[in-house]
């Protein structure tokens, strides 16, 4: 029974988030009482009182307090059901329409192409299962890359059980999809190609434009998971021939539990949730108005700050990569050296194991992530790292830093200072390091 | 339960592991369990006098519980007779540490196993200070899909270097010539793996040994190449981990098999 439960939960986990999130929750209640929204943007601290330095923004982000302030009236003042015909309902409907327009503006798409969901997982499910079922008359073949988020690999298994054929396209040693191999996998029965905007683990930016052009040329629908890329690079699905795109609110400092599927006009999906016909029948269920408003406001903040934030992330990235690769012998960068998300620095070190690295950082109140098997629920190393050609033992020795809105220069300095010490300490007790070359 | 929800005792041993290191000299035996593929490796050295464990040291590659169980085991058995130490089980070690997360019980509580292995080796007279037997495996067993992909990622020589530029290359160890080929390939690509089904790569040529050690060639031991896979050309190889008896894949673009004798040498691009 125990084993079965574990297996069940494996499907939804790629990494385990090791740091304490309790602090974040506490700060939400604190900050909603005090109004600090006038505080200047640059002086904001990550709202945590007992300083845990978060260098694992990829796993989770705090909700920006300005977003929280903006959401509060929608819990008890403008609380209506948008479907209701009276004024209370109208107010909620207006708020939702405005939010939809804002998000459409952010993505340079039409408001009617925005569908609200409960988050990226649901958006991706709707895109893959919904599209496959609705269009099965045209064919039963779907193509995705080897380095998609684990949720897509599990969806592939589900689709295969239900009569679809899924082909996976390999990537090069930097995690970039092989365009030549993608072309070769297309058949007459291919109905959908799904390739992420950028990789969530190693940060490699995918050649989305080329994939989109191939899909458009062959008349195949193209879905992109933009969760890792959002907030880092400007998303523009129309420019890249993306017909379906999944994004989540929390990944740009909005609330959890809300996301969007962009579905280009003229493309159809079958609903996965059947009910009262909300979201044009594509996604039934009373709308999460507060979440929708919060997500929209988060995109607004991002429109104002993205350029400045990205510059900051780039300087952090430069410091992390230059100094760690310099100070640690036998250390390597995973992912693409240049074409990568500015907030992502992903390393590997010979002879040591990632969970131990993570625990050492935890001792110093720094939250980091790893692709090691020992830290995953499946005890399997990261499929992304393996897809780039790494051996299991190399994938075990990986360390990922992702920076975010509240990362400070001194957080980076601390990580840069600690990393060589932690690596050295673990190597001193490792039987593998001195024998990295077994000869 | 999260896999890192460790007891305070486990964390204490992780922070300050006891008896880390190696032992040498007379009456020293070594027990080694696990392998890098499964995620944990433990080495336990024991020095025995009058049937008693006089000294014990360990080295561990692995997660928090792997380090803590190794450390605890050394404390528990130092001073015990060999027979007493043989009775110490994984469960005893876990209990001494106030328990381990269930998922970590089977994978990383290998310290007791490493200890037992060391004791068995000692009793069998297999000591650390003994010349190791020299093995020169010549591997030329055919691989599933080898002929199908010949010239499409599988090569019997590296005469045409263009095929290997910036590619991920796996080369099967087959004597000095394969080591030289691996070193040569590092000049045109940064990813070269040499694999052997033995526990080490063997060469009598000291200079070659040094060169290999200083190169960025990745060495993969106890690994047998089972099959080549891909759509039209090589995309990955299926490997067998001989120690764990489990299969896994490596994503590579080229597979080099030198001195293939079971099939007559064939030119590239056949």
pLDDT in tens, A282-300: 999 999 999 999 999 999 9
In a domain, residue B79? The reply is: yes
Mean pLDDT, residues B32-50: 82
Confidence of residue B266 (pLDDT cuts 50, 70, 90): very low
Yes or no, beta carbons of A438 and B221 under 8 Å apart: yes
Q: How far apart are CA A271 and CA B241, in angstroms?
A: 45
* B161 and B110 in a common domain: no
In a domain, residue B212? The reply is: yes
Predicted pLDDT of residue B129: 74
In a domain, residue B134? The reply is: no
Q: How far apart are CA A403 and CA A398, in angstroms?
A: 17
Predicted pLDDT of residue A49: 54
Are A238 and A260 a contacting pair, CB within 8 Å?
A: no
Q: How far apart are CA B231 and CA B249, in angstroms?
A: 15
The answer to whether residue B38 is catalytic is: yes
Number of domains composing chain B: 2
* B113 and B188 in a common domain: no
* B109 and B41 in a common domain: yes
Structure-block tokens of residue A36: 């600090």
Structure-block tokens of residue A177: 């999809």
- Judged against a pLDDT cut of 90, whether residue B269 lies above it is answered with no
Q: What are the pLDDT digits (tens) for A49-104?
A: 568 999 999 999 999 999 999 999 999 999 999 999 999 999 999 999 999 999 99
Predicted pLDDT of residue B227: 93
Q: Which residue of B has its CA nearest to A3?
A: B103
Structure-block tokens of residue A97: 């329409």
Mean pLDDT, residues B177-181: 94
* B108 and B172 in a common domain: no
Q: Please identify which residue in the block is written with the tokens 């041993």.
A: B13
DSSP string, A60-93: --PPPHHHHHHHTHHHHTS---TT-SSHHHHHHH
Other Cβ atoms within 10 Å of A182 Cβ, number: 22
Are A289 and A96 a contacting pair, CB within 8 Å?
A: yes
Q: Which residue of A has its CA nearest to B10?
A: A359
Are B239 and B249 a contacting pair, CB within 8 Å?
A: yes
In a domain, residue B144? The reply is: no
* B175 and B112 in a common domain: no
* B180 and B102 in a common domain: no
Q: Which three-class secondary structure state does DSSP give residue A143?
A: strand
Mean pLDDT, residues A149-153: 94
In a domain, residue B268? The reply is: no
Q: What are the pLDDT digits (tens) for A214-233?
A: 999 999 999 999 999 999 99
Q: What are the pLDDT digits (tens) for B110-157?
A: 888 999 999 999 988 888 875 444 444 455 567 888 889 999 999 998
Yes or no, beta carbons of B201 and A352 under 8 Å apart: no
In a domain, residue B103? The reply is: yes
Q: What are phi and psi of A116, to 5 degrees?
A: -85, 140
Q: Which three-class secondary structure state does DSSP give residue A183?
A: helix
Q: Minimal CA–CA distance to B89: which of B110, B75, B107?
A: B110
Poorest-pLDDT segment among A112-116, A138-142, A371-375, B98-102: A371-375
Yes or no, beta carbons of A439 and B191 under 8 Å apart: no
CA-to-CA dists, residue A422 to A323, A344, A410, B104, angstroms? 15, 20, 18, 23
Poorest-pLDDT segment among A39-48, A179-188, B201-210: A39-48
Q: How far apart are CA B243 and CA A392, in angstroms?
A: 14
**Mean of all residue pLDDT scores within chain B:** 86
Q: How far apart are CA A224 and CA A240, in angstroms?
A: 10
- Judged against a pLDDT cut of 70, whether residue B53 lies above it is answered with yes
CB-based contact, B81 to chain A, within 8 Å: no
How far does Cα B17 stand from its chain's mean position?
A: 23
Predicted pLDDT of residue B3: 66
Yes or no, beta carbons of B39 and A389 under 8 Å apart: no
From the candidates A7, A16, A374, A379, give the one annotated as an active-site residue: A374
* B170 and B92 in a common domain: no
Domain around B201: 154-256
- Judged against a pLDDT cut of 60, whether residue A328 lies above it is answered with yes
Predicted pLDDT of residue A19: 41
Q: Minimal CA–CA distance to B39: which of B227, B248, B190?
A: B248
* B172 and B81 in a common domain: no
* B105 and B22 in a common domain: yes
Helix or strand run (H / E) with residue A246: strand A244-248
Structure-block tokens of residue B239: 């490997």
Q: Which long-range contacts (CB under 8 A, 24 or more apart) does A285-289 make?
A: A286/A81, A286/A82, A286/A83, A287/A81, A287/A82, A287/A92, A287/A96, A287/A116, A288/A116, A288/A118, A288/A257, A288/A258, A289/A74, A289/A78, A289/A79, A289/A80, A289/A82, A289/A92, A289/A95, A289/A96
Q: Minimal CA–CA distance to A7: which of B66, B15, B103?
A: B103
Confidence of residue B33 (pLDDT cuts 50, 70, 90): confident
- Judged against a pLDDT cut of 80, whether residue B109 lies above it is answered with no
* B188 and B113 in a common domain: no
* B165 and B117 in a common domain: no
Confidence of residue A46 (pLDDT cuts 50, 70, 90): low
In a domain, residue B270? The reply is: no
Poorest-pLDDT segment among A22-31, A373-382, B109-118: A22-31
Q: Which residues lie closer than 8 Å to B55 by C-beta, 6 or more apart?
A: B23, B46, B47, B78
Predicted pLDDT of residue B65: 87
Q: Minimal CA–CA distance to B128: which of B11, B236, B25?
A: B25
In a domain, residue B142? The reply is: no
Structure-block tokens of residue B183: 């070193």
Mean pLDDT, residues A340-354: 95
Structure-block tokens of residue B24: 């040498």
- Judged against a pLDDT cut of 70, whether residue B63 lies above it is answered with yes
Q: What residues in B contact A153, CB-CB < 8 Å?
A: none
CB-based contact, B43 to chain A, within 8 Å: yes
- Judged against a pLDDT cut of 60, whether residue A197 lies above it is answered with yes
CB-based contact, A372 to chain B, within 8 Å: yes
Q: Is the ipTM of this complex over 0.90?
A: no
Comparing B21 with A140, which gets the higher pLDDT?
A: A140
Mean pLDDT, residues A318-345: 96
- Judged against a pLDDT cut of 90, whether residue B159 lies above it is answered with no
Yes or no, beta carbons of A438 and B199 under 8 Å apart: yes
In A16-45, the residues whose Cβ lies within 8 Å of chain B are 16, 18
From the candidates B11, B20, B38, B227, give the one annotated as an active-site residue: B38
Report the CATH number that the domain containing residue B23 is assigned in CATH. Answer: 3.90.1010.10
The answer to whether the predicted template modeling score (pTM) of the entire model surpasses 0.90 is: no
E runs forming strands in A97-217: 114-117, 141-145, 165-169, 190-194
Predicted pLDDT of residue B262: 42
* B252 and B201 in a common domain: yes
Yes or no, beta carbons of B4 and A437 under 8 Å apart: no
pLDDT-above-90 percentage for chain A:
81
Report the CATH number that the domain containing residue B215 is assigned in CATH. Answer: 3.50.50.60
């Amino acid at each position: 029974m125990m084993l079965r439960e574990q297996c069940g939960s494996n499907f939804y986990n790629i990494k385990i988030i090791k740091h304490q999130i309790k602090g974040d929750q506490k700060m939400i209640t604190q900050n909603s009482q005090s109004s600090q929204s006038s505080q200047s943007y640059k002086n904001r601290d990550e709202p945590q009182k007992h300083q845990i330095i978060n260098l694992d923004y990829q796993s989770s982000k705090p909700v920006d307090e300005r977003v929280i302030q903006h959401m509060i009236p929608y819990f008890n003042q403008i609380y209506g059901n948008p479907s209701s015909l009276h004024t209370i309902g109208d107010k909620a409907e207006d708020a939702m329409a405005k939010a939809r327009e804002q998000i459409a503006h952010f993505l340079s798409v039409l408001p009617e192409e925005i569908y609200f969901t409960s988050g990226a997982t649901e958006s991706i499910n709707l895109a893959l299962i919904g599209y496959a079922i609705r269009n099965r008359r045209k064919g039963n073949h779907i193509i995705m890359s080897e380095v998609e988020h684990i949720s897509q690999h599990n969806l592939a298994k589900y689709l295969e059980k239900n009569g679809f054929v899924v082909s996976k396209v390999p990537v090069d040693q930097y995690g970039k999809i092989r365009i030549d191999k993608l072309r070769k996998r297309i058949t007459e029965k291919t109905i959908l190609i799904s390739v992420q905007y950028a990789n969530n683990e190693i940060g490699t930016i995918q050649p989305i434009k080329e994939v989109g052009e191939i899909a458009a040329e062959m008349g195949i629908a193209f879905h992109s998971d933009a969760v890792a890329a959002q907030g880092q690079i400007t998303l523009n699905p129309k420019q890249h021939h993306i017909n379906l795109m999944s994004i989540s609110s929390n990944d740009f400092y909005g609330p959890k539990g809300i996301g969007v599927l962009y579905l280009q006009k003229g493309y159809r999906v079958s609903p996965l949730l059947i009910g009262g016909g909300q979201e044009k029948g594509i996604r039934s269920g009373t709308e999460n108005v507060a979440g929708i408003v919060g997500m929209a406001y988060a995109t607004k903040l991002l429109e104002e700050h993205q350029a400045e934030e990205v510059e900051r992330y780039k300087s952090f990235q430069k410091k992390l990569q230059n100094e760690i690769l310099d100070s640690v012998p036998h250390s390597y960068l995973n992912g693409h050296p240049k074409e990568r998300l500015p907030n992502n620095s992903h390393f590997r070190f010979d002879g040591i194991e990632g969970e131990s690295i993570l625990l050492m950082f935890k001792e110093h109140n720094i939250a980091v992530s790893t692709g090691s098997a020992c830290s995953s629920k499946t005890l399997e190393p990261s499929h992304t790292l393996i897809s780039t050609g790494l051996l299991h033992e190399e994938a075990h020795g990986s360390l990922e830093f992702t920076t975010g809105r509240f990362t400070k220069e001194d957080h980076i300095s601390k990580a840069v200072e600690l990393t060589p010490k932690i690596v050295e300490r673990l190597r001193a007790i490792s039987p593998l390091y001195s024998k990295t070359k077994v000869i | 339960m999260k896999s890192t929800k460790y007891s305070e005792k486990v964390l204490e041993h992780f922070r300050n592991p006891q008896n880390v290191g190696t032992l040498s000299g007379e009456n020293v035996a070594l027990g080694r369990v696990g392998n890098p593929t499964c995620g944990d490796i433990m080495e336990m050295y024991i020095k025995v006098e009058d049937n008693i464990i006089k000294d014990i040291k360990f080295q561990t590659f692995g997660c928090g519980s792997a380090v803590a169980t190794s450390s605890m085991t050394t404390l528990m058995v130092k001073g015990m007779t060999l027979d007493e130490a043989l009775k110490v089980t994984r469960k005893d070690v876990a209990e001494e540490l106030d328990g381990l997360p269930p998922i970590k019980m089977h994978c990383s509580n290998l310290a007791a196993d490493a200890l037992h292995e060391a004791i068995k080796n000692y009793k069998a007279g297999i000591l650390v200070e003994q010349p190791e037997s020299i093995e020169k495996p010549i591997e030329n067993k055919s691989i599933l899909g080898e002929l199908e992909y010949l010239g499409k990622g599988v090569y019997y020589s590296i005469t045409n270097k263009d095929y290997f530029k910036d590619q991920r290359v796996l080369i099967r160890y087959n004597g000095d010539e394969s080591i030289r080929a691996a070193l040569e390939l590092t000049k045109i690509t940064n990813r070269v793996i040499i694999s052997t089904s033995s526990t080490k790569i063997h060469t009598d040529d000291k200079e070659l040994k040094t060169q290999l050690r200083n190169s960025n060639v990745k060495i993969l031991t106890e690994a047998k190449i089972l099959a080549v896979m891909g759509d039209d050309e090589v995309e990955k190889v299926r490997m067998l981990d001989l120690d764990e008896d489990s299969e896994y894949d490596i994503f590579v673009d080229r597979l080099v098999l030198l001195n293939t004798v079971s099939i007559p040498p064939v030119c590239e691009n056949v």
